[in-house]
Structure 1
């Protein structure tokens, strides 16, 4: 055994979330600059995994991983994260994944994404962040449905509308989706597949907007129609945290005068929100770097 390290990205809500048939699913929007970093210091003389109280879910995941591989002992789990909690950015899922990776690194365990999913789903609905790429994922049962790959080049301007949402509590009640909503989810799923197949972000933007509209009757976002009009102005889409407090605008990275566009979006979002204490934030992707060169500007 050795000092173990693990990390995991967060997300900005979801591109799509709903049900197909009776199966719950989401399509991830990973943001690599949002990260949970874990360090595990093994100690064979103790019988528990310890850490700060705020990371109890990650410690529970570590305990289940120990049981999975029949490990004895324990250790200290230290997790540092820049992912806001209760916003819909996969903060606790990222902690759980990073913790398991750190323990696996410490003990050289043959940990798979499927194992991570199984353990994570025993603790809470999980966001599919054990996969670096964009995936369709059953967040209740912890199962991969389909992998799509890396998003086409994009710019994203988002905002946190305030407050928090308890994901576990939120997912305890059944969502009031009707057959029209189900048809919308099928359409959105197909748009995502087409967007990745053709490397065309506009299809993915359409899918995200469809899903965000349906979510308005589940967890409505204030001033949604104004955000949607602003997105339409630049042929973009609306992305929301379906169980969180976030709303954002997704647009093509190759749009002319992209810097000016981002500044315009920022100003207009500030006008919509009408709260000087709430500031937009930005994510940029660069396909040349295979989707990994993401910068966060606050």
Structure 2
């Protein structure tokens, strides 16, 4: 036993999310600057995990992990994160993954992403943040469907209009996807696959916009069509938190006159939303 350390990145919504046939899925959009760090101090004298800051989901996941490996002791779990809660940025999933990694590090447990996924899915619907790369992931059953690798260089202009959404409650309501919706989602998956093969962000942006449009029927975002036109004018795409409150414009980081483009986009957003919280993200590590 030793002091255990674990970490996990967050996301900015999803590139694609929906259902094809009876299978729910999402395609992740990892954001390296969003980070959860966990520390675990083992304590054989107690039988459970103590936590700070009401991280009950991470606590439950940790106790499920100890039970899985037949460990009867407990310990003290501390979690620090810069990921906003209730926005659709995978904050609780990142807490769970970081906690499981810290506890595994403490006890030198042979943990895998598959084990993390299985435990996380028991606690709640989970993002695929245990994988560093972009993946297609069944967020209800915690199963990896496909791995795509790292996104081409991008800039994301993120917009937070306020408010929060309870992911567990949101996912308890079955979403209705028409045949046309499912056809479009299948097309979006093909575009993502092609975009990664060709290293073409514009193709991936098209896929993200298709999915974001479909989500407007489920969890609409304000001024979506204005922002879509703005993104399209720079060969970019729309990204949304399909079960959250944020949305953003995804752009090629190598676009000409990037700073001028970002300045123009920020001004347009400020006109649409006077109190919008705008942040710029990229995939530099």
TM-score by length of 1: 0.94
Aligned to 2:23: 23
**Matched residue, 2:138:** 138
The 8 Å contact of residues 8 and 129 in structure 2, kept in 1 or not, is answered as yes
Question: How many residue pairs were aligned?
Answer: 285
* Aligned match for 2:282, one of 256, 263, 284: 284
**Counterpart mapping for 1:165-244 below 5 A:** 165-244=165-244
Runs of 4+ in 1 over 6 A off after TM superposition: none
1:226-261: CA deviations, max 9, x gaps? 110110111100000000001100011110011111
Residue in 2 that maps onto 1:7: 7
Quick one: distance in 1 between partners of 2:270 and 2:171?
31
Per-residue CA distance 1:136-178 (angstroms, 9 max, x = gap):
0000000000000000011110111210000000001111210
Aligned to 2:254: 254
SS where residue 55 of structure 2 aligns?
Answer: helix
* Structure 1 residue 53: Cα displacement: 4.9
String of CA shifts for 1:72-131, please: whole Å, max 9, x gaps: 210000000000000000000000000000000001110000000000000000000000
* SS at 1:136 equivalent: strand
The SS at the match of 2:272 is helix
> Quick check: 1:83–1:91 contact (8 Å CA) kept in 2?
yes
The offset of 1:263, in angstroms, is 1.5
2:108 is equivalent to residue 111 of structure 1: no
1:236 and 1:27 map into 2 onto residues whose CA distance is 18
Q: Unpaired runs of 5+ in structure 2?
A: none
Backbone CA RMSD of aligned residues: 0.8
Q: Distance in 2 between matches of 1:197 and 1:8?
A: 26
Residue equivalent to 1:52? 52
Q: Tell me, yes or no, if the aligned pair for 2:6 and 2:101 is still in contact at 8 Å.
A: yes
Deviation at 1:54, TM superposition (A): 1.8
Residue 32 of structure 1 aligns to a residue whose secondary structure is strand
Contact 1:96 1:120 in 2 (8 A): yes
Query: What corresponds to 1:289 in structure 2?
Result: none
SS of 1:171's equivalent?
A: helix
Deviations 1:193-249 (A, max 9, x none): 000000000110000000000000100001111110110111100000000001100
Shift of 1:274: 2.6
Q: Partners in 2 of 1:84 and 1:31 — Cα distance?
A: 13
Partner of 1:265: 265
Q: Which ranges in structure 1 are unaligned for 5 or more consecutive residues?
A: 286-292
Whole-Å separation in 1 of the counterparts to 2:41 and 2:31: 27
Query: 1:270, 1:279 within 8 Å by CA — same for their partners in 2?
Result: no
TM-score normalised over the length of structure 2: 0.99
Does the 8 Å contact 1:6/1:98 carry over to 2?
yes
What residue in structure 2 maps to residue 288 of structure 1?
none
The question of 1:148 aligning with 2:148 is answered: yes
